[in-house]
Amino acid sequence: MSEGRFGLRPPTRPAWHGPPDVLRILWTHPRASVRWLLDHGGLRLSILLVCGVCATAVVVLSSSLAPYFPRNAWSWVAGLSIGMVVGLCQWAVSAAFLVPVGRILGGVATWTELMIALAWGGAPVAAGLPFALLLLWSRSLGSASSILLCNAVLFVLYGWAIATKTLAVAEANRFSFARGVACTAALLGLIFLELTAFWLLVPSLTAR
């Protein structure tokens, strides 16, 4: 890839040439962006991105529950705190799960590399936080057109994140997009099993 195209420097360039504008380039060039991050980046900004994803998810869920469970300031703090902890734990578990899955498919990614790939792959969801807040506000006002617009934008961003995560995981493992799709399918299967176990466990705990 040429140096001038979209401002992305080749991933093989030394770190002293300066980083590319990864938060912008990632949307259209996820593999090249993630390769640069794996070669020169770290986990610090990855943690912030995961927290952004968690915040978006909590606000979207809260916007759906707001008519039934009005929230005060403390419930928002508790909800965001729990969401962050659960999201960070799920991030670590997902990366650990994808290590053996990637090995089975011929990949070479380490746990840390997969954590970086998953975090940056989810950047479109983190970018959806303003729309999640607008959705919450729109529901409080009862604006149907604004609710529809926000839901449409968030749907696109979540779909985009699935694509960027798939490509990011494929790049971390240095294998094809098709095998990246298999990794994503396995990860979605894991999340489905976790959610199923959670919904089966909650009634048994509350019944005691």
Tell me what pLDDT residue 43 has. Answer: 83
User: Cα 38 to chain center, whole Å?
Assistant: 17
Token couple for 129: 């936080």
Task: In whole angstroms, give the CA distance from residue 163 to residue 149.
Answer: 21
Question: Side chain identity at 159, as an amino acid letter?
Answer: G
pLDDT tens profile 4-42: 333 344 444 444 455 567 878 888 888 988 888 888 877
Could you count the other beta carbons within 10 Å of the beta carbon of residue 163?
17
Going 94 to 77 to 49 to 24, the CA torsion angle's sign is positive
Residue 79: per-residue pLDDT: 83
pLDDT for res 39: 83
Nearest alpha carbon to residue 158 among 115, 184, 192, 121: 121
**Alpha-carbon span 134 to 12, nearest angstrom:** 40
Q: Is pLDDT above 80 for 128? A: yes
Say what the pTM is. Answer: 0.83
Q: Which pLDDT score, from 0 to 100, does residue 194 have?
A: 86
Let me know: does 171 contact 39? Beta carbons within 8 Å: no
